Structure 1
Amino acid sequence: MTDAITPHPFAFPDAALEDLRDRLSRTRWPDRETVDDWSQGAPLARMQGLIDYWRDAYDWHAAEARLNALDPSTTRIDGLDIHFLHLRSPEPDAVPLVLTHGWPGSVFEFMQAAPLLADPRAHGGDPRDAFHVVIPSLPGFGLTEKPTETGWTPERTAHAWVELMRRLGYDRFVAQGGDWGYAITNELGGIGAPAVQAVHFNMFPVFETMEAVDAQEERALKRLRDFKENESGYQIEQTQSPQTIGYGLNDSPVGLAAWFYEKYEQWTDHGGDPESLLSRDEMLDNITLYWLTATATSSARIYWQSMANWQEREIEVPVGFTLFPRDIHETSERWVKERYPTLVHYNEAPKGGHFAAWEQPESFTEEVRASFRHTRQPL
């Protein structure tokens, strides 16, 4: 075993991009939906506009340049090459922070928030709120190696993150996550001190067995029912048959784009048009990363691996939580406090959905700063 950390920039060959454009130009389109809304999925006209832009105007090299500015590197942990971005703060007392994405996300979720977190002085903030920011890609996502065997659970991933942070010189750190990043950050909180000093979540799973005592909690349970009835098909398929859906997603860039584009429409706080919140370039940055790394199938397997049997951990270190109003799960402070008695920060943001850091990077940054301010000390 070696602790070596090796630079690993994003550098996909032009041939891969040419192949992508060729596939896009040869798309066999379905017929138009028979409704005038999104109730049958991503509308044909919206998809054709997105794909025309992807083929003719989108610039992946600009995205690569942004990624490569954040010291992309790889290190081998527990038999797997873990890829990550690392943005060291110029502030000497900065606190190490690991940010964990989910599905269908990636390190792109944090590209705008990371500089704000690392160098608040340069962005009009208090330098005492600075973090050294580490953003790993989950196993089977991005440039992290694809597991060739079962067993890469949130628990195993969380322990890999502890080792990653140790190799970077961070024996103590704080952690943040939503979606599958919530599951992994929950595990990190369960590991706790001395390595993990505190955690912050921007998602809180709600269950049908929870009891509602006010209008907010009733609304949260209704949102959960609506999700299960109208938006959970992807989850069922990826939990039951990730390999089967993977053939289509791995072979058709349009199929992959539609699979993700629907989630952007359903889960973001956009007020009617997802492209008014996340630009086509931002959406395609994430979609193109999945395409070029051929990780549609390997990333979907996290549902098969862990959806049915993962269990939340009790957490003794300080917990922070921010509710973004258009997330998949809504909640209440009472529910969060019941599950996490060590809650030190709770807030309800005015805007934002499931991809909080991506949608509202400034608000997300302020929430992370406020949460960890309760326990901050030079680590």
Structure 2
Amino acid sequence: MTKHAPRKPSSHWGFHFPQGVFALAREVTVHPSSPSDAQLRPSPSPAHTPGIMWLEILLTSVLGFVIYWFVSRDKEETLPLEDGWWGPGARPAAAEDGSIRPFKVETSEEEIQDLHRRIDRVRLTPPLEDVRFHFGFNSTYLKKVLSYWRNDFDWRKQVDILNRYPHFKTRIEGLDIHFIHVKPPQPPSGCTPKPLLMVHGWPGSFYEFYKIIPLLTDPRSHGLSEEHVFEVICPSIPGYGFSEASSKKGLNSVATARIFYKLMLRLGFREFYIQGGDWGALICTNIAQMVPSHVKGLHLNMAFIVNPGILTLLLGRRFPRLFGYTQRDMELLFPFREKVFYSLLRESGYMHIQCTKPDTVGCALNDSPVGLAAYILEKFSTWTNSEFQDLEDGGLERKFSLDDLLTNVMLYWTTGTIASSQRFYKENLGQGFMANKHDRIKVHVPTGFAAFPCELMHVPEKWVKFKYPKLVSYSYMARGGHFAAFEEPELLARDICKFVGLLEQR
């Protein structure tokens, strides 16, 4: 695989004035305010005649543009495909077991009774008056959630729902990696299903994809076009749910991308599509940066983009099209102070904890199902729609059922993986994260992007193209927030199919 040295950083705004222009300007710019000024002015020389002057300016400008183009042009650099060992102890000399083993989600009476005992012993702090969800999860509404969880939620039934799709485990780089693998029940005649890797984020799980999977694997039965039929693979990130957690420091998004790439190879897929949001968006991006020749297309509903050009956004507020923005971009990003600055400040507190001292808060959450539920479900309120903070119930049941929300919580509770899932933040955003190589590498595979209006921060098409220059499709979605596949499975499925259709027509 060809490796290119990272290009040296250049001006982000990409406009360099050659020194000759400034020198020329100093020579020809004179502002006489008295006869003595005119007397001091040098007499015109052939080099300073207007025609020669403008020719020099033109040539200097052209030269500057050529130099800028040469320095700033895209270089198809890739991430190195390395190797790792994340299991306990030293890597054994024997070859790793590459078998794929069926797996089944199970529960027990003891597990359920322990949960009930802990809920029964809950100790809540009364909320302040009229705070709704502005201070976090409102404990008055939490009482309703706990009553349902304790008396009506049927975990055994939800386990049966989880087992509707085939589960598997396989050992990669010392870890047991869990995934579901769903094939089309009856592919249309002459249609080869397209392999699609879908990756979740935090505080979600593979369960986020349960409602979109049938739309992708069996579209005709759900009123969608069968032009594109997919074979879907949804792994659990190491340290999430049923995927084993690392025993060593350093398992970040790049290592996870490599593990999932190895998973796809083990399943027999040399080329495949990938899709993700939240951490899944970064992991899928890293796969595309690492093995672009194996990725047929990358679809995202979130993007991690460093230095996209905030100044052009501020300048473009009055004249958006002049700076590459649309009126819809302006609506989603302004007023800037509230929709971007204050919003990110308000919603990033958890991130500062998890990328510095994840194990501390992990101890509390792993010991209390009530605390865990409040911590996770608050994100499903605010990240679905920031205006839900104004509601007494956080708007949770407007978009999701309590059964679905609590099933996701149970995947963290029963596996004891909340702390290991939070460590993923420290591994990716801890000390030294500004030196991440993948932040500086553009993605040179065909890309589709779905911009959901209630995402934590809107990413304009201009910014997406900065990181993903082979952008094929950019869609302003009609509704939806951070948990796109969970909240709006049909909208996301249609956009994935639209992207693949555009790509395969080329």
Query: Which structure would you say has the larger Rg?
Result: 2
Quote the Cα distance in structure 2 between the aligned partners of 1:220 and 1:84. 42
Is contact 1:192-1:315 (8 Å) kept? no
Q: Tell me what 1:254 maps to.
A: 370
Percent identity, please. 35
Structure 2, unaligned runs of 5 or more: 1-95, 318-326
* Deviation of the 1:114 alpha carbon: 0.6
* Deviation of the 1:347 alpha carbon: 0.3
Is contact 1:106-1:142 (8 Å) kept? yes
Do residues 32 (structure 1) and 154 (structure 2) align? no
Quote the Cα distance in structure 2 between the aligned partners of 1:148 and 1:70. 29
Aligned-residue CA RMSD in angstroms?
A: 1.8
For residues 146-295 of structure 1, the aligned pairs below 5 Å read 146-205=245-304, 210-211=310-311, 212=313, 213-214=316-317, 216-217=329-330, 218-219=333-334, 221-222=336-337, 223-269=339-385, 272=391, 273-295=395-417
How does the TM-score come out when normalised to structure 1?
0.95
Is contact 2:282-2:304 (8 Å) kept? no
- The DSSP-based 3-state class of the residue aligned with 1:108 is helix
Q: Which amino acid aligns with 1:96?
A: P
Instruction: List per-residue Cα deviations over 1:91-119 (Å, max 9, x = no partner).
Output: 24111000000000001110000111111
Q: Tell me what 2:8 maps to.
A: none
Is contact 2:126-2:140 (8 Å) kept? no
* Worse-superposed segment, 217-226 or 79-88: 217-226
Higher relative contact order (CA 8 A, sep 6+): 1
For residues 338-377 of structure 1, the aligned pairs below 5 Å read 338-376=466-504
Do residues 332 (structure 1) and 332 (structure 2) align? no
* Deviation of the 1:33 alpha carbon: 2.6
Instruction: List per-residue Cα deviations over 1:313-361 (Å, max 9, x = no partner).
Output: 4111100000001111212112212221100000011110000000001
* Deviation of the 1:221 alpha carbon: 4.9
For residues 31-180 of structure 1, the aligned pairs below 5 Å read 31-89=126-184, 90-91=186-187, 92-180=191-279
Is contact 2:208-2:485 (8 Å) kept? yes
- The DSSP-based 3-state class of the residue aligned with 2:275 is strand
Do residues 6 (structure 1) and 101 (structure 2) align? yes
Q: Tell me what 2:39 maps to.
A: none
* Deviation of the 1:38 alpha carbon: 1.4
Instruction: List per-residue Cα deviations over 1:236-286 (Å, max 9, x = no partner).
Output: 111111000001100001100110121111111486512111111111010
Q: Which amino acid aligns with 2:198?
A: L
* Worse-superposed segment, 283-292 or 332-341: 332-341
Q: Which amino acid aligns with 1:327?
A: E
Structure 1, unaligned runs of 5 or more: none
Pair 165,179 (structure 1): closer, same or farther in 2 beyond 3 Å:
same
Q: Which amino acid aligns with 1:186?
A: T
Quote the Cα distance in structure 1 between the aligned partners of 2:336 and 2:360. 31
Quote the Cα distance in structure 2 between the aligned partners of 1:73 and 1:351. 34
* Deviation of the 1:193 alpha carbon: 3.5
Instruction: List per-residue Cα deviations over 1:188-231 (Å, max 9, x = no partner).
Output: 11124332111011012366762302362543854331233211
Instruction: List per-residue Cα deviations over 1:35-81 (Å, max 9, x = no partner).
Output: 43211111111111101111110011222112212110000001111
Paired residue total = 377
